[in-house]
Structure 1
């Protein structure tokens, strides 16, 4: 049954840029581009919040996301309920960036509405190609691209996505019955999804997390090439900071249990990573 769009299309979760693992539109980026980055972040957060709202059924989620897709590609330009999408479309037009990145994000969140399990690592990476890689590609295009193409950026964005999946694995299962941990790795450890509801990780789950972190480390090997290939120095500094943050989070997730508490950087760790990473990016 097709859902009906209500007068409250957006469902803000209360999450903002402070929730993210990485700086969003920080002072490191050119001042003239930060407003566009802010519009892109608001758009991405808006559609993500719809996909993650436990009070909406899958049909309603997809229907609302369809509305944002129409706003992005311009088949619907006047509906005020999709104002965030209209602002994003105008920003893309002004910056001469293709709408595909936003459409891919919408496709990822439609998938979130109806797909709750991932059979293996490759299946998860296919999802990340829609949910994470477009963010980096948008930023690259906005800042003049890279001599190395999109590969290092894709790798970094996918790594950040997997890190976030590990951080939020308990909430995703308890609130949405959604599990990003690969089914075949869970089966190899002979553990069920219900272990995600415990207040600590059993050994088998820890081994699955370590496999995810090992695979994420492989992505980071490619991601570390990113700063040196970028054509914009300020984006090189920002990417250097993000790489440092990702490396530190991987270290912490190997040590700390995400079922005991959300594993994240404290303020001192965060600013240390940003400072050291930005300097590293400057000298790439």
Structure 2
């Protein structure tokens, strides 16, 4: 007997169209898009739970654990998003581990507000970001050897998102992803995140983290060249170009003074460049020279 439906959702109103980077876009094969959307809905539910300020950490962890229970138990139907993803994973022969890893990250969000250094932040990204790329590669039947470049891209995207929301995360959830050692080394204080403009120390901190992100992008740019599926290759190349644009934007603009996000022009140009890059990779049988920002 299956358990009765349990409502643990805390909807934020966000959906795939609100994301900075494409989620199950038209570049993804049409037959795989429903599976990507099932994965996204599951992740969206977990993220909304973790970010809900009205819930206590223990309640967040309990709800996230329940999501995993339903995901892994074929007899459970009480959380539709978990049951739907379980069926999707069974149909596509993709491991549930990537989804479970995301839940680990959401539990970290529920209980952890500070990161001591870059290594600690990358450990978080290993669970919050890397599983998304690994899931997509597995869904397309790609070689797991591509995980390395995919991890680099996904982790870079995660840091970019953290820097975009550096003030919002602090003011709304008392959560600071900028490593404390970077803040201290650059003469920045946590209180600087309340300002209308970045202090000199906070600006230096943001730039130092963008430098670290640029290092991730060196490996990330290898991803299109190792993918067999043309559409996934084009999608990844598009996201690489968007990431490059966002890094440049965050260097030139202040995320405390304005919301720094990609516009329609950024999406259009990155899409055109991404498809062109994917075509070149296919024609040459190897990746072209790394695109520059």
Q: Assess same fold via TM > 0.5.
A: yes
CA contact (8 A) 1:62 1:113 kept: yes
Structure 1 residue 270 and structure 2 residue 271: aligned?
no
CA RMSD of aligned residues (A): 1.4
Q: How many residues align?
A: 277
Per the alignment, residue 152 of structure 2 pairs with: 155
Per the alignment, residue 109 of structure 2 pairs with: 112
Three-state SS of the structure 2 residue aligned to 1:150 is helix
CA contact (8 A) 2:155 2:216 kept: yes
CA contact (8 A) 1:70 1:76 kept: no
Which of 189, 192, 201 in structure 1 is aligned with 2:189? Answer: 192
**CA distance in structure 2 between the aligned counterparts of 1:206 and 1:278, rounded to whole angstroms:** 34
Give the direction of change, closer, same or farther, for the CA distance of 1:75–1:184 in structure 2 (3 Å limit).
Answer: farther
Which of 216, 219, 234 in structure 2 is aligned with 1:222? Answer: 219
Per the alignment, residue 23 of structure 2 pairs with: 24
Relative to the length of structure 2, the TM-score reads 0.92
Give the direction of change, closer, same or farther, for the CA distance of 1:27–1:75 in structure 2 (3 Å limit).
Answer: closer
Tell me the CA shift for residue 30 of structure 1: 0.8
Tell me the CA shift for residue 27 of structure 1: 1.1
CA contact (8 A) 1:239 1:278 kept: no
Q: How does 1:184-263 map to 2 (within 5 A)?
A: 184-263=181-260
For residues 178-234 of structure 1, what are the alpha-carbon distances to aligned partners after superposition, in whole Å with 9 as ceiling and x for unaligned?
Answer: 000001111112322121111110010011100110000000000000011012111
Relative to the length of structure 1, the TM-score reads 0.95
**CA distance in structure 2 between the aligned counterparts of 1:55 and 1:35, rounded to whole angstroms:** 31
Per the alignment, residue 58 of structure 2 pairs with: 59
Structure 1 residue 39 and structure 2 residue 38: aligned?
yes
Unaligned 5+ segments in structure 1 are: 1-5
Structure 1 residue 121 and structure 2 residue 118: aligned?
yes
CA contact (8 A) 1:147 1:231 kept: no
CA contact (8 A) 1:47 1:65 kept: yes
CA contact (8 A) 1:147 1:230 kept: no
Which of 132, 151, 176 in structure 1 is aligned with 2:129? Answer: 132
CA contact (8 A) 2:237 2:278 kept: yes
Which of 152, 155, 161 in structure 2 is aligned with 1:164? Answer: 161
Which of 75, 79, 83 in structure 1 is aligned with 2:80? Answer: 83
